[in-house]
Structures are given as C-alpha cells and as structure tokens.
Amino acid sequence: MNPSRRMKFRATLALALMTATATAEVGPTLTSTGPLTFGPDGVVFVADTMAATIYAMEIGELMKGGQPGTADVPGLDAKLAAMLGTEASEILIADIAVDPTTRNTLISVSRGRGEGAQPILMRVDGAGEIEALALDAVKFTQASLPNAPDSVEGRRGNPRNDSVTDMAFVEGKLFIAGLSNEEFASTLRSVAYPFRGVGPGAGIEIYHGAHGALETHSPVYTFVPYKIDNEDHLIAGYLCTPLVRLPVKDLTAGAKVRGVTIAELGNGNRPIDMIVYKKDGKDFLLMSNTSRGVMKIPTAEFGTQTPITERVPRGQTLAGVPYETVEALAGVEQLDRLDDARAIVIARDASGLHLKAVDLP
C-alpha cells in the first residue's frame, strides 16, 4: 500500500471505528457483526446480533468511487489484520454480500473477540482495493427484535449470537432467521421495509431424520428464497444437516409452522451459506458447509420430493434430494453470487483466508 493510500485508509478507518461509540445522531452504533443483505436503492441491512437489532443503512454513495466488480484478494485475513493493527487470528468474518449496483463485495468484519471486539464494514472493489466504510454520517433506520434470546453463556455458547443467523430481502420484505425466547425458539420473521415495527415472527418446527425427532430449538443457519410452482418458499439449511422447504404464505406473526424436510445431507456438519443460480437452463442450490465441502443441489425435485418423516436408518447419513460435492471448491466458508456466471467466495486453506471469484459449477 503506498503512503497516500495508507493515510487515506487510516483516516477512513478512524471514522469507521467511531461507530462503536457514536451517538444516535451521527450514524448507527454497531456492537457486533452479523449477516448482511442488500435491499433497494443502495440500502444494506446489517444485523447486530448481540443488540438483536437490524440496521437499514443508506450506503449507496459510499459504495461508489471504486472500480466496479470484485477482484481476488489472496491472504484476505492477513491484509485485514495489517490494516486494522491486529493479528490474523483476531479477524472474524461474519458474512459477505455483493452490491447489486457496483458488484463490489461488502464484508462484515470483527476486529478482535469478545466484549472489546470492533465491528467494521469493509468494501472490496474491482481492483482488489480494501476500504473501511465510514458510517459516522450514514442515514439509517433500525428495527429491534422484540423477543430475542437472553445473552447468557451456556454449554453451547451464547444464544444471543444466533438472534439473527441469515437474512434476505424479497419484494419489499426482509426475511430474518434466528432464535427467539419463545417455546418454538427457531423463528422466521417477515418485516416490511421501510420498517414499521417487528412482530414476534413465526415459530418453526421441523422433522430431523438423523435424530428421528421433531425439533423447534435449532435455528435456520442459512436460507434462500425460491419459487416452487410459482409459490414463494424459503429453502432452509439446519445443523446436522436437514434441508427444509417453507411456504412464505405461512410465515405470519405468531404462527407455528412445520417445514417440509426434503433432504438429510449428513450429520456432524453445519451449513454456512447458500445461493441459487441457473446453469444450462437448470436451477441449482450451492451450499457451503463446515465439514462437507460445497454441495451442488439440483432444485428440480424440491416441490415433489417425498417428505422425510421417519428416522434415517443408523449408519445412513443421506436421504431425500441428492447432491454432488464440488471438489474444486475446497475450504469455502462464505459465498455470494457475483454475476450470472460467477460467485465470490471466501475460502480457507493452511495459509489463511482468500477472497476470489469462481465459476459457478
């Protein structure tokens, strides 16, 4: 990085870090990093999981000025650490999202861990330049989740971290997955934007074939909107690893909804991210996972697959809709669609994290 660019970055970073202590009058005050998704007219929705709050930030102007697209950034974690004055091990990435206008990639980054962590939004442009977004003067609105789980450290971690696990914006509504403090803790909310309040959401129940039981406390970790027979659905991925379809029309405030389990994709695994794309005239779901690589799943049988309603036999880890593992996409953690032919991924290997554009398989 040349000296002038370094000085520009430090000035921008100083403004970005101010968001941790800024008052409500000068920009959003983030306390943690979480999922991202773009909405209309330069708005990005940012989940502050520990605050159980969704910020709708008008960042359209901030996303201009760089080269269109997103270029590869080898050693992303090391570069972020050097820029932020810390070690690569202290860089945590919660999510990425591609701006539909500039095709730059926005990254939800945490500098450090625990109570002293600093949430920052970073942009990568078509020249591979990394810039921290200065949020001190960003216009925003916010929506607080009314029934988020308490912040209490337990045997399985702090459930507050899962108050928001994924988001998607479709036709004027923001869909929000996560945990609540209700009896059906797994919750999906449909919130109109501009925000006019947030209801309790719909409690979600699924049948988990690997466990042979109905479950209501495991959150949706990642989901995508998808039409089946011209009806809006969400296709949701769960821990250990059921794939479930949920009709959007059923996701009303206070409802108790049982999803339809259409696949069991193997235990000992957590889905991280997913996208839908078209290849050779057919639709596919691409899903990254913690321990089972990237799965390419044809969507043709999503509406006709016989629901899984009985225990998958012990020793058999797979059932329902089939998939193939994309061997070329090793170590992928985050992904988003860059254009009709490519995805942006963050992949991990022995040397660290790398951001790169890859052909859709």
Instruction: State the sign of the Cα–Cα–Cα–Cα dihedral 11, 15, 18, 23.
Output: positive
* 288 secondary structure, DSSP code: E
> What percent of the chain is predicted at pLDDT more than 90?
86
Instruction: State the sign of the Cα–Cα–Cα–Cα dihedral 155, 33, 136, 57.
Output: negative
**Mean pLDDT along residues 99-115:** 94
Judged against a pLDDT cut of 50, whether residue 138 lies above it is answered with yes
Tokens read off for 245: 């379809």
Judged against a pLDDT cut of 50, whether residue 13 lies above it is answered with no
C-alpha 50: how far from chain center: 15
CA distances, 100 to each of 21, 229, 355 (Å):
30, 26, 18
SS3 of residue 360 by DSSP: coil
SS3 of residue 114 by DSSP: helix
What kind and span of H or E run contains 83? helix 76-84
pTM: 0.91
Question: In 53-172, which ranges are continuous DSSP H helix?
Answer: 76-84
| Higher per-residue pLDDT: 310 or 1 | 310
Question: Residue 116: what pLDDT?
Answer: 82
Distance CA 109, CA 117 (A): 10
Question: Residue 2: what pLDDT?
Answer: 46
Question: Residue 203: what pLDDT?
Answer: 98
What kind and span of H or E run contains 12? helix 3-17
Q: How confident is the model at residue 179 (pLDDT cuts 50, 70, 90)?
A: very high
SS3 of residue 18 by DSSP: helix
In SS3 terms, 43-77 reads as: EEEEEECCCCEEEEEECCCCCCCCCCCCCCECCHH
Contact, 119 vs 50, CB < 8 A?
Answer: no
Distance CA 233, CA 303 (A): 10
Distance CA 107, CA 83 (A): 14
